[in-house]
Amino acid sequence: TGTDLTVRVEARAFQVHSQVLSSASPFFQKLVSSGEAFKRAVELPTPSAAAFEVLLEFFYTGEASFAESLLVPVLETAHHLRVQAREAKQSRNGEKTEKAQIHINKLLEAAFKLFDVDKSGAIDQSELRVLFDFLRLELSDDEVHEAMEFLDQDENCEVDEKEFREIITYVAPIV
């Protein structure tokens, strides 16, 4: 209720609040501030409507759950919408707002949990293999082992959440 913007992705139309999308995405902020977003439905060439729906859920609630198969499309969609994690914006009264950062951090946290199959709080080499396969990186077992040695900064034979964020930032630079 009270939506003021239509966003089309694939064959689906999403009725959304421009203010919510503007606060989470510089892409939408630019469209809304120019007035272009209100003249017609906004067409997004994102990988999938399901990926956009995941991001909408994050933008509105700060939480979302999604299938592992949507990880790459969600990251690509976040990149397309220029969702930034490291930049805090200044509001009119000078306070920092970090809504976009919170959204992308929760997305990365959820992605980490998907690949931490054994729920140990870290990704071991077999889980790292799954991650690389998911990111469409065709690596040999030796290359996965070398990647583990490189990424495992504290040399405990596991990738923790901080190290995981560095992997995603390098492969899909959205943060």
- Find the mean pLDDT for residues 156-174: 74
Q: Residue by residue, what is the 3-state secondary structure of 55-95?
A: HHHHHHHCCCCCCHHHHHHHHHHHHHCCCCCCCCEECCCCC
Residue % of the chain over a pLDDT of 70: 80
Task: Output the six-digit token pair for 7.
Answer: 């966003």
CB 141 within 8 A of CB 118: no
Give pLDDT, residue 107.
72
Type of residue found at 161: E
- Enter the pTM of the model: 0.55
Considering only 26-35, 147-156, 165-174, which range has the smallest mean pLDDT?
165-174
Question: Would you say residue 14 has pLDDT above 90?
Answer: yes
